[in-house]
């Protein structure tokens, strides 16, 4: 994987900035949480729905020491969705991060709202 920077959409960038004000969490942490939300959504995100007019984030800043973990989750999702592991990896990563950031904005008004995003006992399968 040769990509080292990820360009977010303008919409996701705006929402991440507002979420930072609401929660005090930095965009990289919010993107990680949003990515996790998006991966759980059964609908395949469409990369073409997200422009590249927003913030650019260094991949290590975004994923940190958990990079291999996030990429492994994405690869599992690509296999489940019948997508190509090489060709679709970066477009789907961007799409999941953008969709997740936008979805997170709709779900979180305060830091306390994150508790509602946790899976309920027995909900994981």
Identify whether the C-beta of residue 50 lies closer than 8 Å to the C-beta of residue 95.
yes
- The percentage of the chain sitting over the pLDDT mark of 90, rounded to a whole number, equals 82
Query: Is 78 inside any structural domain?
Result: yes
Query: Is 122 inside any structural domain?
Result: no
Q: What is the mean pLDDT of residues 94-115?
A: 92
What is the pLDDT, as a whole number, of residue 116?
Answer: 81
* Residue-range definition of the domain harbouring residue 20: 5-111
Q: Give the number of other CB atoms < 10 A from CB of residue 77.
A: 20
1 has a pLDDT exceeding 70: no
Q: Is 19 left (phi over 0), alpha (psi -120 to 50) or beta?
A: alpha
| Rounded CA separation 95/107 (Å) | 18
Here the CATH number for the domain that contains residue 75 is 1.10.1220.160
121 has a pLDDT exceeding 80: no
Query: Is 23 inside any structural domain?
Result: yes
Query: Is 43 inside any structural domain?
Result: yes
Q: What is the mean pLDDT of residues 1-21?
A: 91
| Rounded CA separation 33/68 (Å) | 16
What is the pLDDT, as a whole number, of residue 52?
Answer: 96
What is the pLDDT, as a whole number, of residue 117?
Answer: 80
């Amino acid at each position: 994987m040769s990509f080292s920077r990820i360009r977010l959409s303008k919409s996701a960038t705006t929402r991440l900035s507002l979420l930072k004000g609401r929660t005090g969490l930095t965009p990289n942490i919010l993107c990680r949480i949003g990515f996790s939300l998006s991966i759980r959504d059964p609908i395949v995100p469409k990369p073409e729905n997200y422009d590249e007019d927003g913030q650019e984030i260094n991949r290590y800043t975004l994923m940190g020491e958990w990079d291999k973990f996030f990429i492994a989750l994405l690869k599992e999702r690509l296999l489940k969705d019948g997508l190509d592991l090489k060709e679709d990896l970066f477009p789907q990563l961007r799409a999941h991060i953008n969709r997740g950031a936008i979805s997170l904005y709709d779900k979180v008004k305060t830091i306390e709202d994150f508790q509602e995003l946790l899976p309920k006992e027995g909900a994981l399968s």
